[in-house]
Amino acid sequence: MSSPATIQPFDGKSVCLFCGSSEAVHPDYLAAARAFGEATAEAGWRLVYGGGGVGLMGASARAAHAAGGRVLGVMPGFLRSRERLFDEVETLVVPSMHERKTIMYDQSDAFVVAPGGVGTLEEAIEILSWKRLDLHAKPVIFLNLNGFWDALLAVMEHSIEEGMTPASFRQAWVVCNTVAEAIETVAAADATPHLQHDRR
């Protein structure tokens, strides 16, 4: 599905941040989200995110905006009040979660998965599933603050060890422990070879 024509054109790199909307999180996570938003602005990139003004979503978008960066938020209408739409930046309100994820995918050159809840987990798994099926070769980076994603990474490793997933799929994502590492990885992504993961 193509993105709506109402999206303002952007010629630079666009980085999608999948992250949580909860306010009941460790301050370190909020600080990291703010640092990530600021770093995208400093790099001249556009931040693509879920459109909310709360939690890590709000922290990253507000920081990018305050630093003079471009931000594109995409939110389904039914979440406007729950995730408190941050409309000081370019924001699309769409009918469904499916359309939200499709537009975020279409508008992004790389994906960074920061700590989050089941919604963030679902977004990460879907983007990895698409990569497993060779539907895209865009970088997927786990921002593994305080080992947040260790359990998920262990499950994916278990799937490989059990023969459910090819060993080459280990190269479908990168794990970074700090915001600085994640930014460096996104910056270097154009030099990363695009591997095929489904050769059946």
Place of tokens 């556009």: 46
Q: What is the pTM of this model?
A: 0.92
Write b or e for each residue in 54-77: b if 16 or more Cβ atoms lie within 10 A of its Cβ, otherwise e: bbbbbbbbbbbbeeebbbbbbbbe
DSSP annotation string for 92-113: EEES-HHHHHHHHHHT-SEEEE
Q: Report how far apart, in Å, the C-alpha atoms of 89 and of each of 50, 134, 164, 166 are.
A: 12, 33, 42, 41
Q: Confirm if 117 and 23 have CB atoms less than 8 A apart.
A: no
pLDDT, tens only, 44-98: 999 999 999 999 999 999 999 999 999 999 998 887 666 677 888 999 999 999 9
- 1, pLDDT greater than 50: no
Residues ≥6 apart with Cβ < 8 Å to 29: 20, 56, 114, 115, 145
List pLDDT tens digits, range 125-151.
Answer: 999 999 999 999 999 999 999 999 999
3-state helix, strand, coil in the chain (%, to 5): 45, 15, 40
From the candidate CATH numbers 3.90.1150.10, 3.10.180.10, 3.40.50.450, 3.40.640.10, the one assigned to the domain spanning 14-187 = 3.40.50.450
- Confidence at residue 66, expressed as pLDDT on a 0 to 100 scale: 98
Cα separation, 58 vs 51, whole angstroms: 8
Instruction: Break the chain into its structural domains and give their ranges.
Output: 14-187
Report how far residue 35's alpha carbon sits from residue 169's, in angstroms, rounded to the nearest whole number: 29
Question: Once rounded to an integer, what is the mean pLDDT over residues 154-179?
Answer: 96
Residue listed under structure tokens 């963030």: 120
Average pLDDT over residues 20-40: 96
Q: Check residue 28 and give its pLDDT.
A: 96
In one-letter notation, the amino acid at residue 39 is: A
Q: Is the pLDDT of residue 193 over 70?
A: no
Q: What percent of the chain has pLDDT over 70?
A: 90
Bridge partners, 142 (sequence order)? 113, 175
Q: What is residue 195's predicted lDDT score, i.e. its pLDDT?
A: 52
